[in-house]
Structure 1
């Protein structure tokens, strides 16, 4: 298994560009993708020189690419206006489509690369931070014990960005989450989600807090407390839960670091409402967690492209994730 970060790869295909209003000029033309990328940079930055600096080319090199693109399309894309550039009518047509074409090309390349990866039993798994600290290590350990030929590339991101990466082909399996009051994401027919964990939220407090001896605590009782809040989506869930309980929380500290949340709580700087999964990596002996009422839940899912769900490597990863989730749920209850 190796840990890596995704980098955009060079697009080498030569897609066809057509425009209904310019059919005679374009139908026989094949756009060179590199020239299209350069054209988009020129349009966005306003000059050959600026595009050259951004792309690492020389200015004459950019100029030559644009002249070659005009020859391929058999039309003029730019005209000089003083010291600046002005798009021709044909150039405006191409500019209006260039970014969407580049996005589609990258997504297509990623999808093709994903198929090739899975044939080689290489699976890109993306998960949110607390899952990477708990669920994913257990799942990968199970996977390694049974299927030594499967290679995992691990990434970290939170939804919706992680789900966007799945649809673009950047990831093969995405472990994501949503809260009770958040709508089920509209992920379309091209992907399928499997629920792994339905976990309640818990209260984190220090061991000599007046409520630490209680077995469970009503959220409405905590209206006068100071709070430590987590990531943006977790913070939104927390504020929403407090609103239902009839108060607006006083949030003194916010951090995306789950271990930092524990440290702030143990230091007496505030309470925290966190998903139960975080109990799996409680490190502070003076930290206590208690059930909160009314219960609110976080739903953890594994999402894959429908077209790849039956690929052997993907099936093995999903199987390992389900087993790890079941084991973790049992461990938290005991």
Structure 2
């Protein structure tokens, strides 16, 4: 493996045209730089330099190695820059997209931890109902966005320029008013037992929920109230008042501000996956740092 210091010496000589001028640029004495170049020639197993009365030029082997050396040194500079930003992240901004449930219940402590670690980064948060957050990442409107998908459903294509990283998978559960007959049993409730039940339907035309709504309809659940916006707080309030039952994510049921009865369903194929959309290798150091915090926080939430 070539020593990066010696590769930098070779590039400096190629650009300066002489060992003396390259030594001045690098802060070496000419003999010290010549010694580094001699060691590099031993590593390469070929003559890299030809000295003449006007200075020094590279041999064909030297030109090949110098070209590669520039790429290596550029990559190392980029790595140093990114590591420095990750450790300090002084300045800059981070634009985060989120949907309501996670934005209220899971994101705030993560952003607080990020702010403590990187107080100089400007944070902005915007609300995007899935799948709009993924589109915002692909368009460059935000640096990353929290989004969700549901099962059963047809998987949606991820737009070019965005990558989805799953963070948390949770079941969908039945919620009822307190004391409802369906909430009192033990074990999982077969979804077929929802036949004839008045259903608070959560945005049946909303893309992430289409598959779930279709499965509930095939099971015989009868829409009683349709919430045109996918706001789970409203759904839970209507359920709590006795207007019907609903199928919502576990997190929603656990954190509802209105009293509910909760029952798991059979089969356990009704699920929601929460993911973070980002730009992959093009993500900023701030976005990479926040993604690491999200993985830790959502892992604890799953536990």
TM-score by length of 2: 0.63
User: What count of residue pairs does the alignment treat as equivalent?
Assistant: 210
Deviation at 1:170, TM superposition (A): 0.4
Q: Following the alignment from structure 1 to structure 2, what is the Cα–Cα distance between the partners of residues 126 and 144? A: 16
**Are residues 137 and 160 of structure 1, via their aligned partners in 2, closer, same or farther at CA, if it must alter by over 3 Å?**
same
Secondary structure of 2:112's counterpart equals helix
2:231 is the alignment partner of 1:260? no
The answer on whether the counterparts of 1:127 and 1:158 sit within 8 Å (CA) in structure 2 is yes
Q: What displacement does 1:153 show? A: 0.6
Deviations 1:224-266 (CA, angstroms, capped at 9, x unpaired): 1111122323542332222453x25323231433222111111
Please point out which of 77, 101, 114 is paired with 1:130: 101
Map 1:118-267; keep pairs closer than 5 Å. 120-188=91-159, 190-215=161-186, 216-231=188-203, 232-233=206-207, 235-245=209-219, 247=220, 249-254=222-227, 255-267=229-241
- 1:125, 1:153 within 8 Å by CA — same for their partners in 2? yes
**Cα distance change, pair 165–140 in 1 and its aligned pair in 2 (3 A):** same
- Please list every run of 5 or more consecutive structure 2 residues that lacks an aligned counterpart in the other structure: 1-88
Quick check: 1:265–1:272 contact (8 Å CA) kept in 2? yes
Unaligned segments of structure 1, at least 5 residues: 1-117
Runs of 4+ in structure 1 deviating by more than 6 angstroms, as ranges, are none
**1:304-319 maps to which residues of 2 (within 5 A)?**
304-309=278-283, 311-319=284-292
Residues 197 and 300 of structure 1 are in contact (CA less than 8 Å); yes or no, is this contact kept in structure 2? Answer: yes
Deviation at 1:188, TM superposition (A): 4.9
Match of 1:279 in 2: 253
Shift of 1:290: 1.6
| Alpha-carbon contact 1:239-1:249 (below 8 Å) kept | no
SS at match of 1:211: helix
TM-score, structure 1 as length reference = 0.58
C-alpha RMSD of the superposition: 2.2
Residue 235 to residue 228, structure 1, CA distance change in 2 (3 Å): farther
Equivalent residue, structure 1, for 2:267: 294
Select the structure of larger CA radius of gyration.
2
Structure 2 distance, partners of 1:191, 1:234, is 18
